[in-house]
Amino acid sequence: MTAAQLTLVQIDNYGPWTVTPEPRREMDLQTLQSRLFADMAQYIGNRGGYVFFTRFDNMVAVTNGLDRRDHELLQESVGNRFPVTVSLGVGVDGVPIDALETATERVQAAGSAQSSDRSEALAGEFRDPEGADDGDVHIAHFDVNDATGKYTDRLNEFDSFINIEHGYASLMKYMREEHGALSFFVGGDNVIAVCPDLTYDEYMGAIDHVADDVDVQLKVGVGSGESPHEAGYAAKHALEDCRYEGTLVEFA
């Protein structure tokens, strides 16, 4: 039984801050956002979780293995080192989108993303560590077949990017609508999806859909585990298997 624990990380009142008293230098904002994400990736990642930059002012994390105290400490540490604070909402569900729905509602209930009254809200439920098992998290790691040969070494970078981006846009929509799975672009030609327990045919269905829809050929490795890192690491190995075997879907 899948039991994904999803955390929404939302910077408090960020939009107004970026233009007060005057618009701030864009490259400083980009630096701030990417370093905040990097710190999240280290903190959550070395506890076995995964975090995705999403929109940067809102980040989505899979946090199986992190409890309330871990979340509190993350908030405290960000508040001590950055000029902004973050609110956190947490939910647990067999279907990732439902877990995130719960997580988001908890942050929204504490106040608007652009309210100066809300600061460091934290609300949610956490996966009972006693019940945790290696079927809790399913990660699918997609990449584009021969992206270097087909795009990077042949097209200008923006046209390469458009191809990858449209493959991603197509996949994210399909996986969300068909399976309640959350797919995130993680750089290069890679997409990592947090999924319910899906079959070979369901993954083939996704790959076929993207090929038909936007003519981008994906392959995917799938792994499961008690934590996102365990599931994701198994998925990476499965994806290496695809590479060596010339297959499109491999399970760890």
Site for its own copies in 143-182 (CB under 8 A): 148, 152-162, 164-166, 169, 172-173, 176, 182
- 26-45 vs 68-81: helix axis angle to the nearest 10? 150
Smallest distance, Å, CB 114 to its own copies?
Answer: 5
Task: Out of 21, 26, 130, 244, point to the residue binding its own copies (CB under 8 A).
Answer: 26
Smallest distance, Å, CB 55 to its own copies?
Answer: 6
Torsion of CA 197, 129, 61, 122, to 10 degrees: 140
Q: Which parts of 196-215 interact with its own copies (CB under 8 A)?
A: none
Both structure tokens of 220: 């995917």
Longest CA span, the chain: 57
Nearer to its own copies, 148 or 247 (CB): 148
Task: Out of 1, 21, 25, 131, point to the residue binding its own copies (CB under 8 A).
Answer: 25
Q: Which parts of 86-145 interact with its own copies (CB under 8 A)?
A: 97, 100-101, 103-105, 108, 112-114
Smallest distance, Å, CB 157 to its own copies?
Answer: 5
Size (the chain), residues: 252
3-state secondary structure of 62: strand
Q: Which parts of 39-78 interact with its own copies (CB under 8 A)?
A: 39, 41-46, 49-51, 53-58, 60, 73-74, 76-77
Q: Is 235 left (phi over 0), alpha (psi -120 to 50) or beta?
A: alpha
DSSP string, 189-218: TEEEEEESS--HHHHHHHHHHHHHHH---E
Size of the site for its own copies (CB under 8 A): 86
Nearer to its own copies, 52 or 126 (CB): 52
Angle at 200 between CA 194 and CA 202, to 5 degrees: 65
Nearer to its own copies, 20 or 199 (CB): 20
Task: Out of 3, 4, 8, 92, point to the residue binding its own copies (CB under 8 A).
Answer: 8
Nearer to its own copies, 68 or 173 (CB): 173
Task: Out of 20, 35, 199, 215, point to the residue binding its own copies (CB under 8 A).
Answer: 35
Piece of the chain touching its own copies by CB under 8 A; list 26-34, 125-133, 202-210, 244-252: 26-34
3-state secondary structure of 107: helix
Nearest-angstrom CA–CA distance, 78 and 75? 5
Nearer to its own copies, 14 or 201 (CB): 14
Residue with tokens 């309210």: 115
CB-based burial label for 166 (10 Å; 0-12, 13-18, 19+): middle
Residue with tokens 């959350």: 182
